[in-house]
């Protein structure tokens, strides 16, 4: 314990000294870590970060719905689902293989160009759709892996009670599958929270975009660091929540009801 503390302190102090003694440190401090600049940028970035939170929360719900649908379609062993299965498989292959930034750009600029009646033109919603499409493919695969990890005897037990395929899936298999994949799912959502910054590329006024405005005007990067701090602080509760859930799951498994 003490060894861990001491060695950590030594390393941190060493790195700190090394960085601050670098010849360019004063300039770095001025452009990246200026306290006055940080204070000045804080209120606007905080307001803009609310857009990131909103995009995250909305996308999260849509992603779960889409991913669940895709995962179930791919798992169900039914012949008449075959065409849907092809669609679901192509979807996951395409959207998992395409960089998220590219999808944001394609949806953000492509869909309005189509000019179809009823399609959204608000960059925020286009961005949310792009994130949903991209992350939906990942999350669908995570859920599918979870479903397949549930032992066939659980299916047999549910069906033997007279539950239909759908009810067995709903009450017996999915709850177990979701529990198993919750840690990797939350990990994906931590990543999603950060990727809301990609919406800046299609003109959504979120935290990164707001910071860029300052940088472009005053040639300072402290607002970027402020934005970074916002993202970090926002992901920490989610990370701790993941830890707590895993712990609880482990405790449940070991018997305490």
Of 163 and 213, CB closest to another protein: 163
For the bound state, the minimum distance from the C-beta of residue 152 to another protein, rounded and expressed in Å, comes to 10
For the bound state, the minimum distance from the C-beta of residue 222 to another protein, rounded and expressed in Å, comes to 49
Number of residues that bind another protein (CB under 8 A): 23
Of 79 and 257, CB closest to another protein: 257
- Which residues within the stretch 165-194 sit at the binding site for another protein (CB under 8 A)? 167, 171-172, 175-176, 179
Segment near another protein (CB under 8 A), from 27-35, 74-82, 156-164, 226-234?
156-164
Q: Does 154 bind another protein (CB under 8 A)?
A: yes
Q: Does 77 bind another protein (CB under 8 A)?
A: no
Of 21 and 253, CB closest to another protein: 253
Q: Does 157 bind another protein (CB under 8 A)?
A: yes
Of 20 and 164, CB closest to another protein: 164
Of 43 and 152, CB closest to another protein: 152
User: What is the Rg, in whole angstroms, of the alpha carbon atoms belonging to the chain?
Assistant: 23
x/- mask, another protein, residues 217-256, rule CB under 8 A, reads -----------------------------------xxxxx
| Dihedral sign from CA coordinates of 35, 38, 42, 46 | negative
Q: Does 164 bind another protein (CB under 8 A)?
A: yes
Of 98 and 176, CB closest to another protein: 176
Task: Give, rounded to a whole angstrom, the gap between the first and last alpha carbons of the chain.
Answer: 33
Q: Which of 2, 113, 121, 153 binds another protein (CB under 8 A)?
A: 153
Cα angle, residue 125 at apex, residues 122 and 131 outer, rounded to 5°: 140
> What does the binding site for another protein look like in residue numbers (CB under 8 A)?
153-154, 156-164, 167, 171-172, 175-176, 179, 252-257
């Amino acid at each position: 314990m003490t060894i861990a503390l001491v060695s950590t302190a030594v390393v941190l102090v060493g790195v700190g000294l090394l960085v601050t003694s670098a010849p360019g440190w004063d300039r770095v401090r001025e452009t990246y870590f200026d306290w006055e600049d940080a204070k000045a940028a804080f209120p606007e970035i905080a307001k803009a970060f609310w857009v990131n939170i909103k995009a995250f929360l909305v996308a999260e719900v849509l992603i779960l719905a889409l991913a669940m649908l895709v995962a179930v379609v791919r798992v169900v062993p039914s012949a008449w689902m075959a065409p849907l299965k092809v669609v679901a498989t192509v979807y996951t292959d395409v959207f998992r293989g395409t960089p998220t930034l590219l999808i944001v750009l394609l949806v953000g600029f492509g869909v309005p160009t189509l000019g179809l009646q009823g399609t959204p033109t608000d960059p925020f919603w286009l961005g949310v759709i792009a994130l949903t499409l991209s992350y939906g493919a990942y999350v669908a695969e995570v859920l599918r892996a979870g479903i397949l990890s549930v032992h066939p005897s659980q299916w047999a037990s549910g069906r033997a009670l007279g539950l239909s395929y759908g009810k067995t899936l709903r009450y017996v298999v999915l709850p177990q599958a979701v529990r198993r994949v919750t840690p990797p799912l939350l990990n994906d959502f931590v990543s999603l929270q950060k990727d809301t910054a990609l919406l800046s590329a299609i003109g959504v006024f979120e935290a990164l975009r707001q910071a860029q405005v300052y940088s472009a005007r005053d040639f300072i990067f402290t607002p970027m660091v402020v934005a970074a701090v916002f993202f970090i602080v926002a992901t920490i509760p989610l990370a701790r929540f993941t830890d707590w859930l895993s712990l609880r799951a482990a405790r449940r498994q070991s018997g305490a009801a």
